Amino acid sequence: MNATLITGASSGIGAAFARKLAARGRNVFLVSRSEETLIAICNELGRIGGVRAQYLAIDVTQKDAPAILFEETQKRGLEIDTLINNAGFGSMGDFDRLDVNRELEIIDLNVKALVALTHKFLAPMRERKQGTIINVASTAGFQPVPFMATYAATKAFVISFSEALWEENRAHGVHVMALCPGVTETNFFAASQMDRPPMRSAQTPEEVVDTALRGLRRKKNLIVSGWVNLAMVEAERFVPRTWILKVAGNALRPRFEE
């Protein structure tokens, strides 16, 4: 049975992916740490006729998480033809004052877990010459972001990694796409211990997922969600990088420096 594996499916963009894909008749395998929420979403989606919604509560940064997830899909007879690496979080503040262990956890989740899961599920996709991988990056990945230094750097990694894999895997029937949302109304800011989102108009997670599905239909390797976000990303290409850094730094500095 074919299915889509979604990490970070208990809330925000991941939960929106689960609902939108199930509504289109896709079986989903939902992953995050919050078992009760995953059960509730699976119960909700299980009411959609012809759709199987299953879950596994696991911390995907665990070293053996990719192997556990892969074995679990095999036990359940699930063929993961779409992987959505969506789980992620960030932090905001003067890097010097941030807890370095938490900064390293951001890298563990946004980078290491994403790479490990991609590697685990890519091989069978290539054997079948069919598959899709969506890696959720961010508009923060297009330029360094002072006071969100680690988070933005992880998302730059996700963009670069995904684009390279898009080219490597095109000839093997596997489509890889980086999805770049801007500010989106989710638990992200609470989970990332940020008081309030930085500027820019927020999108809903449903809008972000609609953009992603449109991007897939058009076989995009990279898609930015929202016209305002796209305009910002495009405009930044014509402006000196130090200028962007200073503007972003000046906007956020008052929050973190006495």
Ligand X SMILES: NC(=O)c1ccc[n+]([C@@H]2O[C@H](COP(=O)([O-])OP(=O)(O)OC[C@H]3O[C@@H](n4cnc5c(N)ncnc54)[C@H](OP(=O)(O)O)[C@@H]3O)[C@@H](O)[C@H]2O)c1
Cross-strand bridge partners of residue 82: 4, 132
Catalytic hit among 70, 147, 151, 189: 151
Q: Say how far apart CA 258 and CA 114 lie, in whole Å.
A: 36
Q: Binding to ligand X by residue 10, rule CB under 6 A?
A: yes
Stretch that binds ligand X, among 39-47, 59-67, 169-177, 249-257 (CB under 6 A): 59-67
Select 88 or 146, whichever has its Cβ closest to ligand X.
Answer: 88
Q: Binding to ligand X by residue 186, rule CB under 6 A?
A: yes
Tell me if residue 55 is catalytic. Answer: no
- Picking from 50, 49, 48, 1, the residue whose alpha carbon sits closest to that of residue 29 is 1
Count residues binding ligand X (CB under 6 A).
29
Q: Binding to ligand X by residue 215, rule CB under 6 A?
A: no
| Residue from 61, 132, 143, 221 in contact with ligand X (CB under 6 A) | 61
Which residue pairs, CB below 8 angstroms and at least 24 apart, start in 218-223?
A: 219/175, 220/177, 221/162, 221/163, 221/166, 221/167, 221/176, 221/177, 221/178, 222/159, 222/162, 222/163, 222/166, 222/177, 222/178, 222/180, 223/177, 223/178, 223/179, 223/180
Q: Binding to ligand X by residue 43, rule CB under 6 A?
A: no
| Residue from 107, 191, 213, 216 in contact with ligand X (CB under 6 A) | 191
Residues lying near ligand X in the complex (CB under 6 A): 7-14, 32-34, 59-61, 86-89, 109, 136, 138, 181, 183-184, 186-188, 191, 205
